[in-house]
Structure 1
Amino acid sequence: MIDFSDIDGVIFDLDGTLVESDLNFHNIREKLGCPKEVDILTFVEDIQDDTQKEAAAAFIVEQELADAHGARWLTKGKALVEDSQAQGVPMAIVTRNSRSATAIKIETNQIPITTVITREDAPAKPDPTALLKIAANWGLHPSRCLYVGDFDYDRIAAERAGMQFLLV
């Protein structure tokens, strides 16, 4: 599935790439009053009132945790991880999810990836910081890394990091 001739490390998105997700972003936006054209995490970050900001952030985590318990491997995602394992390349996950929801999804599905960066660890995608941090930790030039994702933010982050990208 992946041509590893010019890839020395693989980074995966989580939701929609490795595991299924039933997060209802329309309902989350509606509850928060977030316009469709505005990124949800940016919207929450920009809330001026600390009490409202904390409530909005807690609501998002609550939705993520509810979704996390039902998340199961996606067939293609599992195959890509197994393919990467067989090649012996390092693997990581970069997700916009909360750390707590991510941990549940990884543990429940026994995903064999221990290097994980969530939105609490680095700026959220499409910011490339997390991808570049992983490449640096691996001692790899970003162009030798592949980012696998399912959304435009994933593609944009990979492009900004100078990484190869695979849309699933």
Structure 2
Amino acid sequence: MSHVPLNIPQIKAIVFDLDNTLVSSDMDFQWLREQLGCPSSQDLLSFIDQIDCQKTQANAHSLVLQHELEDAEKSNPMPGCKSLLNFINSNNLLTAIITRNCSEAANTKLSHNKITIPKVITREHFPPKPAPDSLLFLANEWQLDSSEILYVGDYLYDLQAAFNAAMPSCLVTHGKHTPFTAHASLIVEHLSDLEATISKHY
């Protein structure tokens, strides 16, 4: 996997991941894996979907939901979040959120952090990232070419989803080392750096 080239003047929409992209998250996935018996090599949501016993599967979903809601109440906007969203709104760019969170947790996080983005796509709507379905849905709804949408996230799944949808991607590192940089069209430390980069073209 590589990345799709980014041409900033062509961008008409900026779509975001939620956790540790727009708002902070302290989800303890290692703890969840241990509670559910999910191997470290397997995606947690895929593991739950493959549980045969409906009661066990329902309990697993309930545990994840509880963890997500607790995380939502402790979350804060990431540095540069509000300013970037104001910039997007002021320049009439389209925007949305695509998250692996459930709808209840995602909406709780947005409400808690006073973030208003009308279009929020969660794991109830489409197969979760790295599947490209949600991004392709947006491109079709907005009648945009894939190259006109920038997807912003902090993790490999975000970059993979963008690449699978033939879209450019932006990796937000928060100043930390990450092994995913080769798969991003653009790399920034913080959302304020993304705003500074884009604003040069407006």
Name the TM-score class by shorter chain: over 0.9
- CA deviation string 1:130-152 (max 9, x = no partner): 01111111111111100000000
Which residue does 1:143 correspond to in 2? 147
1:112 Cα deviation from its structure 2 partner:
2.3
Calculate percent identity across the aligned residue pairs. Answer: 40
Instruction: Answer yes or no: is 1:156 the counterpart of 2:160.
Output: yes
Q: What is the TM-score normalised by the length of structure 1?
A: 0.95
**AA partner of residue 156 (structure 2):** D
The corresponding residue for 1:65 is 69
- Determine whether 1:49 maps to 2:48: no
Query: 1:4, CA displacement in angstroms?
Result: 4.2
Aligned equivalents of 1:129 and 1:122: distance in 2? 6
1:85 CA displacement = 1.9
The answer to whether 1:113 aligns with 2:117 is: yes
CA deviation vs aligned residue, 1:45-102 (integer Å, no higher than 9, x gap): 0001111011001110110011011111001333332332222101000000010000
Secondary structure of the structure 1 residue equivalent to 2:55: helix
Which of the two has higher C-alpha Rg? 2
Cα separation, 1, equivalents of 2:145 and 2:7: 17
Aligned-pair CA distance for 1:43: 0.3
Q: How many residues align?
A: 167
Summarize the alignment of residues 1-168 of structure 1 with structure 2, pairs less than 5 Å apart.
4-168=8-172
Q: For residues 7 and 97 of structure 2, what CA distance do their matches in structure 1 show?
A: 19
Separation in structure 1 between the aligned mates of residue 47 and residue 165 of structure 2, nearest angstrom: 24
- CA distance in structure 1 between the partners assigned to 2:111 and 2:7 by the alignment: 28
* Structure-1 residue corresponding to 2:179: none
Aligned with 2:74: secondary structure? coil
